[in-house]
Amino acid sequence: MSLEQLEKLRTQLDEINFDILRLLNARAGVVEEIGQVKRLQGIEAFDPEREKQMLDLLVKENPGPFDDNTIRYLFKQIFQASLGLQEEQEKKPLLVSRKRRQEDTVVTIGNVRFGGGAPVVVAGPCSVENERQMELVGQGLQQQGIQVMRGGAYKPRTSPYDFQGLGEEGLKLLRKTSDRYGMLAISEIVSPSDVEMALDYVDVIQIGARNMQNFELLKVVGAVKKPVLLKRGLSATIEEFLYAAEYIMSRGNDQVILCERGIRTYEKATRNTLDISAVPILKQESHLPVLVDITHSTGRKDIMEPIARAALAVGADGIMVEVHPEPSVALSDAKQQLNIPQFETLMNALRNAKYLPSIPAVTAR
Ligand code: PEP
Ligand code: MN
């Protein structure tokens, strides 16, 4: 064999080495993704059964000249190194965690800042019903300097016979009204296939309590460039709530606002039980802004003011409250929505007690 031939074979070997290197790292990328999925699902990183399967398959397909034991040995080394990668990953705190990011996340949209110090009030009807209703609420909210208007267009109702919302038509009406009165618009989306369409109408996508663990929906809103308000599930622990937010963040969307909206307990005096301690815990454990929904957590108008005070006193970055021009005829949540004068009284009380700043002169958009 000439020296020239040797040189050629060495070059060939180098190229194969590079191929192996590239493939090893591509494999590591897939391993990291698997690790992430396993971590989110709470599955153990090491799976001896799966490792055995992979080795058996490799041995079965082994064309030689390496004998089966050598193949087993080599691939075991690769598996070992991959497991090391997953374990490294596991040591990293979650993206939602305060350990991962010390500073508060401030979700900024126009001149509205969720988590920026001054509390944000999100108000509006439970459901978007018609133009006149939206117009009346819009006027009332504008007079109170409200910067973010809510209104449900897709309503996850307990009974299939109840009003289900106006759908896209509702989103259009919400957009029209919030534009007219210089407010941002927030609305709940319940289906992954509606997310893209909703981007044209809303400034914040709401994920409702019933969908907090709709992982496919979380993944879709995690992949868009639009802030997401995530409500705590009816019987979700704080840990599960944070993992749901992690689903969104892990897909690249870091504009997440958490919303405590009460949990289900044996207590019947309120619609849900507001877990007030969740607010400082969420603020401590994560860097995300936290709102409190004072309407769905209580289902009672008579305690809204003290509940709002409590929420803001324990560090909530804002509150959500349902307001309707004529609650008694509302198509959803008729019992719990405030009318416009009641809302004014609430806002005045919170301002007088310095829980909220005085009415800002500027509008949101
Ligand atoms: C809502 O805010 O319109 C709503 C349905 O609330 P939740 O998802 O918290 O029940
Ligand atoms: Mn409601």
User: 312-344: per-residue pLDDT in tens?
Assistant: 999 999 999 999 999 999 999 999 999 999 999
**Ligand 1: distance of its center to the CA of 271 in Å?**
12
Q: Give the pLDDT score at 123.
A: 98
One domain, residues 85 and 200: no
Pair of tokens at residue 330: 């509302």
One domain, residues 175 and 239: yes
Nearest ligand to the CA of 122 is 1
Q: Report residues whose beta carbon is within 6 angstroms of any ligand 1 atom.
A: 126, 152, 188, 208-210, 231, 261, 293, 296
Contact call for residues 164 and 188 (beta carbons, < 8 A): no
- The position carrying tokens 């596991």 is 90
Q: Is residue 9 part of a domain?
A: yes
How many C-beta atoms lie closer than 10 Å to residue 262's C-beta? 26
Nearest residue CA, atom 4 of ligand 1? Answer: 208
**Ligand 1: distance of its center to the CA of 11 in Å?**
65
In terms of DSSP bridges, do strands 204-207 and 120-124 run parallel, antiparallel, or are they unpaired?
unpaired
From 164, 229, 293, the mutation candidate for ligand 1 (largest count of ligand atoms within 8 A of CB) is 293
Nearest ligand to the CA of 330 is 2
Backbone angles phi, psi at 105, to 5 degrees: -80, 130
One domain, residues 146 and 82: no
Question: In this structure, is the dihedral angle defined by the CA atoms of residues 245, 248, 251 and 255, taken in order, positive or negative?
Answer: negative
One domain, residues 79 and 117: no
- Residue that is last in its domain, among 33, 67, 91: 91
**Ligand 1: distance of its center to the CA of 296 in Å?**
7
Q: Which residues on adjacent β-strands are paired with residue 338?
A: 323
**Ligand 1: distance of its center to the CA of 261 in Å?**
8
Nearest ligand to the CA of 335 is 2
Q: Whose CA is closest to 260, among 280, 274, 242?
A: 274
**Ligand 1: distance of its center to the CA of 208 in Å?**
5
**Ligand 1: distance of its center to the CA of 233 in Å?**
10
Q: Give the pLDDT score at 364.
A: 52
The ligand 1 atom at the shortest distance from the C-alpha of residue 208 is 8
Q: Give the pLDDT score at 43.
A: 81
One domain, residues 206 and 307: yes
Q: Is residue 76 part of a domain?
A: yes
The ligand 1 atom at the shortest distance from the C-alpha of residue 126 is 3
User: In angstroms, how far is CA 288 from the centroid of its own chain?
Assistant: 10
Q: Give the pLDDT score at 363.
A: 52
Contact call for residues 152 and 198 (beta carbons, < 8 A): no
Q: Whose CA is closest to 311, among 260, 352, 363?
A: 260
Start-to-end Cα distance in the chain: 78
Q: Give the pLDDT score at 365.
A: 53
pTM for the structure as a whole: 0.80
User: In angstroms, how far is CA 1 from the centroid of its own chain?
Assistant: 66
The ligand 1 atom at the shortest distance from the C-alpha of residue 156 is 5
User: In angstroms, how far is CA 77 from the centroid of its own chain?
Assistant: 39
Stretches where the chain sits below pLDDT 70 are 360-365
Question: Domain total for the chain?
Answer: 2
Q: Give the pLDDT score at 269.
A: 98
Nearest ligand to the CA of 333 is 2
CATH number at residue 46: 1.20.59.10
* DSSP labels, 151-185: -BSS---SSTTS----THHHHHHHHHHHHHTT-EE
Q: Give the pLDDT score at 88.
A: 79
How many C-beta atoms lie closer than 10 Å to residue 61's C-beta? 8
- Residue that is last in its domain, among 91, 125, 150: 91
Q: Give the pLDDT score at 247.
A: 97
Domain extent at residue 233: 107-352
**Ligand 2: distance of its center to the CA of 17 in Å?**
62
